[in-house]
Amino acid sequence: MSNPNKELLGNVLADIESDENLIEYIQPDIDSTKDLIPHVPVDMNLTGISEGFISSSNFGPCIAFLLQFTYNGKERCLLSHFSYGFDERGMRLYEILERFLNDIFICLTDHLGIKNIIPNPSEDVSLSNFILLIAGGDIDQSEDIKRAFSLLNLHCNNETIRLFKSSDVLFIYYQLLSRTIILKSVEKDVSEQTEEAIGQFFLE
């Protein structure tokens, strides 16, 4: 049986490999392209939406949420630089997922200047073609968050759906089913005492 998530990731990687100008998109010369490609820089713990190029830096143990979607027929990308703005310890996985999906809803409505994201012909609002990439994060700190988002790739379920309180959250949930790519964390954050000990070692 084929894995939809692996197929999606394969298609994304194939698109990247076929792009001869990949380096220009990843690290563009902003001065020479600013009139052609809109650029939105995103600071820590903030979110931005762009029609073109979007970037952030110094993630360290922070998590990057990169959402590609179509708004009224035009492609957009949303980047959230999450620096653990709330404590998810003790929360159930579906509660963590619901909190983040609601945050995505708030970001979309705020940045796009709309009240609802559910397609409504009378309001000329149409959002579709969602693909979410989650990357970065401390190995331990980000574990529950990534496990929560893995629910989107398990089709688990009516039990989870019944617990969601918002129709907008439910809409995003359906949009991201088997369309969420989660990259494993490779960074391990250390305590201040360990950082000081390492620094002292190199000074001696």
What is the total count of domains within the chain? 1
DSSP for 133-157 reads EEEE-BTTTTHHHHHHHGGGGTT-T
Distance CA 192, CA 134 (A): 27
Tell me the pLDDT tens digit for each residue of 9-18: 666 556 555 5
Distance CA 65, CA 78 (A): 8
- φ/ψ region of 56 (left if φ > 0, alpha if ψ in -120 to 50, else beta) reads beta
Tell me the pLDDT tens digit for each residue of 53-101: 888 887 778 899 999 999 988 999 999 998 887 788 889 888 999 999 9
pTM: 0.72
Q: Which domain holds residue 76?
A: 4-203
**Which residues fall within 8 angstroms of residue 94, CB to CB, at 6 or more apart?**
148, 151, 160, 163, 164
Tell me the pLDDT tens digit for each residue of 156-202: 555 666 778 888 999 999 999 999 999 888 766 545 554 455 445 44
Strand, helix or coil for residue 26: helix
Distance CA 137, CA 152 (A): 19
